[in-house]
Amino acid sequence: MPSIKPFKGVIYNRDKVRCMAAVVAPPYDIIPPAMQEGLYRKDPRNIVRLILGKIRANDTADDNRYTRAKRDYDDWLKKHILVRDDKDAIYVYSQVYSDGRKRIERTGFLGLMAVETTGKRTILPHENTLLAPKADRLNLIRSVKANLSPIFVLYEDPKHKIMKVIKDDISGRPPFIDVTFEKARHKVWRMSSPEAIRTIKTLMLPKNIFIADGHHRYETSRNYAMELEAAAAAAELKSNARFLMAYFVESDEDTLTILPAHRVIKNISGLKKGEVEKALRPYFIVKKVSGLAACLSGMARSRDFHAFGMYLGKNDFYLLKLKDEKVLDAAIKDNSPDWKRLDVTILHSFLIEYALGVKDDEENMEYVKEPREAARLVKGGKFKVVFFLNPTRVSQVKRIASLGEKMPRKATYFYPKPLSGLVINKLD
């Protein structure tokens, strides 16, 4: 049973920060160096200086990306660039974006969620985590003592009761934040009605929570709470340290967009084009198609049949469809039948490793969301092949998480991500 509560959010002071688009940023883990540099130039108060400060050659124990984040955060609070709301609230958060020709408005809420420190399983992840990113985020939270960005979580509500509470509360009220960033519009309202907040807390009590995005930040918050508990820091444990800020969204397939990360491979064990086709034909229907558009549309039409796209350079595009799922049980020994039948599992464990005999190595592979960019990398000659995937379904994410299993890496990219810099949770 997740424990949900409102909080006094820390927000940018609009009297001092006129342009919100200049100070917000995506989550830290999807900010490449060029974007980081651009965000630094946009505004000296951009949230990137807190969530992903630059590393300098002359960094020391007393002057580094974490101490500079604390210095800037404290300075912005002191100068009222950031201000804290005086009343507890749940923050309604709407994202309006386009998925192809379809316009989608996804509305959820920002609230605090208690982390699990006792081994209970009501907050369900679907990804494995790595030590280095968790160490990085732990150093940051120790220094700043704040949730600078929300994690992104899903809950089930077939009768849409929570959405009714949200819509009734914000009806007729303009948002206090309304910003467009990278083609998506982000709007935020305060929900401070005690009755509405109580209703949401009650409705959320029996639900399981599925982590869509932010696995490293969730585990970091849990480790931080356990660290304080081990140190018997009773005063801090009575504060928000047991909680982290999350963006709660109903798990509705119509308002959730998952993008695939296509796999671009440098080395295919010396196989030539004809040899790649020959190795795949015993297991896949291999059909040459006219180009990228035909490849992607064919995959979309055949997504229930484990369809993949393949590009080998020049104009050699192929549509691949698995002939028989039974081969998966013989070739993939571990995990549940549901896990074995994920497209991303079939691609990595069966097609790449089993059928082609290529080692599944991150150093041999790049993950690219834009199909044209993936094809361009192969056409340029640096990479030998790209395999295109259909998106993972939301139902698959929930099923694998419910089974206690973890998907292969880069299986999901929920779009758009919740922005950093809209609301901050101060841990005190």
Residue 249 in contact with residue 110, Cβ under 8 Å?
no
Domain membership flag for residue 136? yes
Q: Give the integer Cα–Cα distance in Å for 322 and 332.
A: 15
Domain membership flag for residue 408? no
- How many CB atoms are closer than 10 A to CB 227? 15
- How many CB atoms are closer than 10 A to CB 49? 23
Q: Are residues 80 and 195 in the same domain?
A: yes
Q: Are residues 269 and 145 in the same domain?
A: no
Q: Are residues 277 and 311 in the same domain?
A: yes
Percent over 90 (pLDDT), the chain: 84
Top-confidence residue, 292 or 100: 292
Q: Are residues 265 and 242 in the same domain?
A: no
- The per-residue pLDDT for 239 is 59
Judge whether residue 419 has pLDDT over 80: yes
Pairing relationship of beta strands 365-368 and 257-258 according to DSSP bridges: unpaired
Number of domains observed in the structure of the chain: 2
Q: Give the integer Cα–Cα distance in Å for 234 and 285.
A: 62
Q: Are residues 363 and 377 in the same domain?
A: yes
**Percent of the chain as helix, strand, coil, to the nearest 5:** 35, 25, 40
Closest CA to 404 of 129, 126, 210, 156: 126
Q: What is the mean pLDDT of the chain?
A: 93
Domain membership flag for residue 402? no
Arithmetic mean of pLDDT, 189-196 = 94
Arithmetic mean of pLDDT, 11-18 = 96
Domain membership flag for residue 363? yes
Percent over 70 (pLDDT), the chain: 97
- The per-residue pLDDT for 185 is 97
- The per-residue pLDDT for 389 is 97
Judge whether residue 341 has pLDDT over 60: yes
Q: Are residues 216 and 127 in the same domain?
A: yes
Judge whether residue 418 has pLDDT over 90: yes
Judge whether residue 7 has pLDDT over 80: yes
Name 233's Cβ contacts closer than 8 Å, sequence gap at least 6.
none
- The per-residue pLDDT for 232 is 60
Name 329's Cβ contacts closer than 8 Å, sequence gap at least 6.
337, 340
Domain membership flag for residue 401? no
Arithmetic mean of pLDDT, 112-130 = 87
At 236, the pLDDT band (50, 70, 90 cuts) reads low
- The per-residue pLDDT for 233 is 52
Q: Give the integer Cα–Cα distance in Å for 217 and 412.
A: 17
Domain membership flag for residue 357? yes
Judge whether residue 12 has pLDDT over 90: yes
Residue 197 in contact with residue 191, Cβ under 8 Å?
yes
In this structure, what token pair is assigned to residue 275?
A: 């040899």
Q: Are residues 204 and 238 in the same domain?
A: yes
Q: Are residues 198 and 277 in the same domain?
A: no
Closest CA to 428 of 203, 213, 242: 242
Top-confidence residue, 337 or 236: 337
- How many CB atoms are closer than 10 A to CB 195? 9
Judge whether residue 149 has pLDDT over 80: yes
Domain extent, residue 341, equals 260-390
What pLDDT digit, counting tens, does each position of 373-406 carry? 999 999 999 899 999 999 999 999 999 999 999 9
- The per-residue pLDDT for 15 is 96
Judge whether residue 241 has pLDDT over 90: no
Name the β-bridge partners of 317.
289, 311
Q: Are residues 332 and 267 in the same domain?
A: yes
Closest CA to 212 of 425, 411, 422: 411
Arithmetic mean of pLDDT, 23-46 = 96
At 274, the pLDDT band (50, 70, 90 cuts) reads confident
Q: Give the integer Cα–Cα distance in Å for 220 and 125.
A: 13
Q: Are residues 233 and 321 in the same domain?
A: no
Judge whether residue 214 has pLDDT over 60: yes
Residue 115 in contact with residue 209, Cβ under 8 Å?
no
Q: Give the integer Cα–Cα distance in Å for 85 and 88.
A: 7
Q: Are residues 13 and 98 in the same domain?
A: yes
What pLDDT digit, counting tens, does each position of 304-337 carry? 999 999 999 999 999 999 999 999 988 888 889 9
Judge whether residue 168 has pLDDT over 60: yes
Q: Give the integer Cα–Cα distance in Å for 85 and 186.
A: 19
Q: Are residues 55 and 183 in the same domain?
A: yes
Q: Is 362 helix (H, G, I), strand (E, B) or coil?
A: helix
Q: Which residue has the tokens 């160490």?
A: 135
Element (H, E) at 417: none
Domain membership flag for residue 399? no
Q: Is 422 helix (H, G, I), strand (E, B) or coil?
A: coil
Element (H, E) at 96: strand 90-99
Domain membership flag for residue 404? no
